[in-house]
């Protein structure tokens, strides 16, 4: 059994090495096993941008496939859309590409979540600083009130109460902002958000005359990377099994 596993590992290493050499895009998977859209998939600056008329045809097709009207498509809807424009794409290839789009989506969501968390922490830090400054101002006002004439004391207290009410209203606004930030991080892992998905199609493709050429180009660009990642996962799994 050990000999068979070793042979499988050698075969997988050979396949991965060949895929690296044959990949025209120079695709490389990072040590963190993330997909670098800019390096591997995005259109190069010198390449012509996809024209709007062609992209609109693709957009309308996938928007029509969203039968639920929630701005997302699942794998069967994705598969139907791809086959509409590129009938030569096998079901396995479409699944590889779909999974890759989902992974890219999750990378973006994770980055957005990290940004939102950082913003939330900044808001909390700002609130703490403001509360600290408020207490300091309150102490100064109290000292000032003590030396004021008794006739001005009531007026000073009224002003202070008004300011505290305004500051409490500001605190409520901060709380609402934090709630909105947390809500924006929610998503699913089994569906594609149509908007970001279509934008990726536009980013990855160059200028073509027909939607069929665009989808075929994007799919053929993504398949070698998706296959390489799957082989990497298999190799890692076998390696972990051998060292358990």
Tell me the average pLDDT of the chain: 74
Burial class (CB in 10 A: 0-12, 13-18, 19+), 192: buried
Tally of domains in the chain: 1
Domain that holds residue 191: 2-242
- Write the pLDDT tens digit of every residue in 43-80: 999 999 999 999 999 999 999 999 888 899 999 999 99
pLDDT digits (tens, 9 = 90+) for 141-200: 776 666 666 666 666 665 555 555 555 444 444 444 433 434 333 344 688 999 999 999
pTM over 0.95: no
Q: Tell me: the pLDDT tens digits for 188-228?
A: 468 899 999 999 999 999 999 999 999 999 999 999 988 88
Which residue, among 36, 43, 18, has the nearest Cα to 218 in the 3D structure?
43
Phi, psi (deg, nearest 5) at residue 164: -65, -35
Exposed/middle/buried for 94, CB within 10 Å: 0-12, 13-18, 19+? buried
**pLDDT class of 27 with cuts at 50, 70, 90:** very low
Nearest to 52 by CA among 198, 194, 193, 197: 198
Evaluate whether 228 touches 19 at the Cβ level (below 8 Å).
yes
pLDDT higher than threshold 80 for residue 90: yes
Query: Among 38, 20, 19, which Cα is nearest to 111's?
Result: 38
């Amino acid at each position: 059994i050990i000999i068979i596993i070793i042979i499988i590992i050698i075969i997988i290493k050979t396949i991965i090495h060949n895929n690296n050499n044959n990949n025209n895009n120079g695709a490389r998977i990072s040590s963190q096993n993330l997909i670098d859209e800019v390096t591997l998939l995005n259109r190069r600056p010198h390449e012509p941008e996809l024209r709007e008329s062609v992209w609109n045809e693709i957009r309308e097709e996938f928007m029509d496939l969203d039968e639920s009207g929630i701005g997302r498509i699942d794998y069967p809807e994705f598969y139907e859309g791809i086959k509409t424009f590129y009938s030569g794409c096998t079901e396995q290839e479409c699944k590889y590409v779909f999974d890759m789009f989902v992974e890219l989506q999750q990378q973006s969501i994770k980055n957005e979540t990290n940004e939102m968390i950082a913003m939330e922490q900044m808001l909390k830090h700002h609130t703490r600083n403001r509360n600290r400054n408020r207490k300091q101002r309150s102490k100064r006002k109290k000292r000032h009130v003590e030396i004021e004439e008794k006739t001005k004391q009531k007026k000073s207290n009224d002003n202070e109460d008004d300011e505290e009410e305004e500051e409490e209203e500001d605190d409520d606004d901060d709380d609402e902002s934090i709630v909105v930030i947390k809500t924006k991080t929610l998503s699913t892992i089994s569906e594609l958000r149509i908007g970001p998905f279509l934008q990726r199609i536009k980013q990855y493709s160059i200028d073509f005359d027909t939607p069929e050429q665009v989808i075929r180009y994007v799919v053929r660009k993504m398949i070698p990377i998706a296959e390489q990642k799957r082989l990497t996962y298999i190799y890692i799994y076998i390696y972990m099994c051998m060292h358990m």
